[in-house]
Amino acid sequence: MAAKNQQTQKPNKRKQFSSTKTDKDGSKSKKPKLLSSTPSSANPSNKLLKKPFNSSKPKREHPTHSKFKKSESGNDNKELTKRERRIQAKELAEARKKKRKPHYTLEQELASLWEKMRRRNIAKEDRSKLITEALQKMKGKIPEIAGSHVSSRVLQTCVKYCSQIERDAVFSELQPHLLTLSCNAYAVHLVKKMFDAASKKQLAGVISSLRGHVASLLRHMVGSVVIEHAYQLGNATQKQELLMELYSTELHLFKDLASIKESRLIDIISKLDLQKSSVLRHMSSVIQPILEKGILDHSMIHRVLIEYLDIADKSSAADIIQQLSGPLLVRMIHTREGSKIGMLCVKHGSAKERKKIIKGMKGHISKIAHDQCGCMVLVGIFSMVDDTKLITKIIIRELQTTLKELALDKSARRLLLQLLHPNYSRYLNTDGLASLNLTVPSLSSKNESEIKSKKLSRDEESSKEAAKSDIPEENLDEESTKEVATTDSDMEATESGKSDTPEENLNSAEGGKKDPSLRRRELLVNSGLAENLIDVCIENAEELLTSNFGKEVIFEVAKGGSDGILHPTLDEKLNNLHEAIAELAAKPKSDESEEEHVLENFHSSRTIRKLILDCPALASTLWKKSLEGKCQLWAQGHSSKVVSAFLESSDSEVRKVAKEELQPLVDDGTLKIPETKQSANEN
């Protein structure tokens, strides 16, 4: 009811504000709104009602108001030119910077000196004067201004060119503040420069001052660069001192324990009788924040991860491999320890994790292949991963665009040679072959123990069944071997996706399960890589033969690869390559030409000699097209090794073709052949 009464009363209130009112006599009179009917003199307070209803609006003022009048002084912004306004704005900015930066004036003076001292064509005396002047201006204020964008650059130039006495003075002033400066984005470059210029005593003092702060600096994006730089510059003892803090709380607290000579963590644990579980907990607390932040570029972290995987239990090692499997791994494989971690992830990772690793390398394959350490991870992928379609799609397709560069590169050629002649000690050094056989102890022992236990249980079951079914005792081993082989094949069918093995068991895959020769054929021949490689060898035969590294690639291709993997699929292409090499050898010998003939060049003559000894098809083509009737010309110098190879060949047909022409040269002493080789071939 109250609401209804309010609604009915509203119109009555509005009538009071109407512009027309009726007098008592009935006549209408017009009055302004909100004006009282009584005169203003009777009620002085009614003066307030004379204001407009919307009092918030500002009162419009006449253009002749004082603020619209032009200033008599002529300093108004409207009268200033563009140049004057720029100068005025610059002065205001300078004033603000002076208030904000206490050493702003000093920085400006140093910047002007720096522009002069960093010139290349300046005299040493003039530069030393400018450096001395700059250091005098900075004396006592170096730690305060070292973090500045400008003055840190000036200090770097001063440290680079100043005298040893001046450098020591700067070092002594900065040393108490090194930890603070190490986390500054600008000062970090100065700190690195100071490390490079430090004496052995100063560097030892710096590394000693970092003790207790290694773990915290490694977690810092900027500070980790300083720790890594100190680690690279230190000797073996100093490196060990930095690493000890990351291994155990005891080693972190007690300096005497950290001075032992053992370098491997497992040896340190056994010598000091440390608790392995506490070491793992401490290392996990150090490693996990680093992995979460993705600070994985430094060799020091790679060393810690290798040591951790060496002592970790199955679940911890599998967890680390799972976290690293992906794009993060690409940032690690440029160091020796990092490439080892990469190969361990490939070897022990599941099919899903291997797929992540390979996909994470997409777009970086060429750079990884040319890296001395990174190429070994690709070699490991070629040797262990069974998903050849994925490797072909991501890795080989990218490699096919730069085959010539790969063949001529010292590191990248290993990828091609691993497919052409796998695990050959001539192409992979001892360290490379050893890294392919690396394993994580906790993950590899799992497979071995499971296989052994399964084999023992199968042997027991087979012996019981044999006793029941009267199988002869000599056939027991045969039956048990068959059953164990079936079990192993069931366990190892992980890559195809048909296995019912739980995912946790996939973490210890221990390399590929596919037949190595089949995997190699799929990657080299079926993918089209070999065909493209032969075409590249035909087009660049001379350059590859005379190259120190390319000669090995063209030798393996021309030979057909180990075990004749390129035969008979690519026989026609190989014949074209043999003819291309023969055409190069058939070129006339000329003393005027600047380029060496392929039969006289050091690298190419030895490569062609090896091909004659190992590839009879090329030897016959070369003889018919290049050397027949011309042996007298090539019987001396480096080319004599090529000619004599025909008589040293183990193939009787090759010896028979060349003997008629070469034997007279041997008899008159023009061509020399070791008697042992000649007699061995005749026998």
Task: List pLDDT tens digits, range 544-553.
Answer: 999 999 999 9
**Under 8 Å between Cβ of 268 and 260:** yes
Nearest-angstrom CA–CA distance, 558 and 608: 10
pLDDT range class, residue 259, cuts 50, 70, 90: low
Instruction: Kindly report whether the global pTM for this prediction surpasses the value 0.85.
Output: no
pLDDT of residue 99: 72
Nearest-angstrom CA–CA distance, 532 and 401: 9
- pLDDT of 43 higher than 50: no
| 3-state SS assignment for residue 210 | coil
Q: How many CA atoms lie within 13 A of 110 on its CB side?
A: 27
pLDDT range class, residue 512, cuts 50, 70, 90: confident
pLDDT of residue 555: 97
pLDDT range class, residue 20, cuts 50, 70, 90: very low
Lowest mean pLDDT among 28-32, 243-247, 535-539, 669-673: 28-32
pLDDT range class, residue 460, cuts 50, 70, 90: low
First to last CA, the chain: 132
Nearest-angstrom CA–CA distance, 190 and 30: 87
- For residue 175, CA distances in Å to 103, 215, 284 come to 21, 20, 31
pLDDT of residue 268: 87
Which residues share a beta bridge with 29? 21
Nearest-angstrom CA–CA distance, 344 and 438: 7
Nearest-angstrom CA–CA distance, 98 and 85: 20
Overall average pLDDT of the 336-361 stretch = 94
Lowest mean pLDDT among 116-120, 190-194, 235-239, 451-455: 451-455
pLDDT tens for each residue of 530-543: 999 999 999 999 99
pLDDT of residue 76: 52
Nearest-angstrom CA–CA distance, 159 and 140: 16
| 3-state SS assignment for residue 20 | strand
Both tokens assigned to 388: 């050849």
Cis amide linkage into residue 568, ω under 30° from 0: yes
pLDDT range class, residue 575, cuts 50, 70, 90: very high
Q: Is the dihedral of CA 267, 268, 274, 279 positive or negative?
A: negative
pLDDT of residue 461: 54
- pLDDT of 446 higher than 70: no
Overall average pLDDT of the 365-370 stretch = 95
Q: What is the mean pLDDT of the chain?
A: 80
**Under 8 Å between Cβ of 678 and 648:** yes
Overall average pLDDT of the 287-302 stretch = 93
Higher pLDDT, 37 or 198: 198
Report which of 182, 190, 254 is spatially closest to residue 213, judged by C-alpha positions: 182
- Residue written as token pair 């997409």: 362
Nearest-angstrom CA–CA distance, 398 and 394: 7
Lowest mean pLDDT among 200-209, 441-450, 607-616: 441-450
| Residue 443 Cα to chain centre, angstroms | 26
- pLDDT of 376 higher than 60: yes
Overall average pLDDT of the 284-301 stretch = 93
Overall average pLDDT of the 28-52 stretch = 44
pLDDT range class, residue 255, cuts 50, 70, 90: low
Overall average pLDDT of the 445-449 stretch = 49
Higher pLDDT, 660 or 251: 660
Nearest-angstrom CA–CA distance, 123 and 622: 63
Q: Could you tell me what percent of the chain has a pLDDT over 90? A: 53
pLDDT tens for each residue of 95-110: 777 777 777 788 888 8
Overall average pLDDT of the 447-456 stretch = 48
Lowest mean pLDDT among 62-76, 90-104, 327-341: 62-76
Overall average pLDDT of the 551-568 stretch = 95
Nearest-angstrom CA–CA distance, 566 and 302: 39
- pLDDT of 16 higher than 50: no
pLDDT of residue 11: 47
pLDDT of residue 37: 42
Q: What is the dihedral of CA 200, 203, 209, 210, to 10 degrees?
A: -130
**Under 8 Å between Cβ of 351 and 387:** yes
pLDDT range class, residue 264, cuts 50, 70, 90: confident
pLDDT of residue 500: 36
DSSP for 22-62, written as a single string:
E-TTS-EEE--TT--SS-TTT-GGGGGGGS-S-TTSPPP--
The single-letter code of the amino acid at 135 is L
Q: Could you tell me what percent of the chain has a pLDDT over 70? A: 76
- pLDDT of 452 higher than 80: no
**Total number of residues shown for the chain:** 683
pLDDT range class, residue 659, cuts 50, 70, 90: confident
pLDDT of residue 459: 53
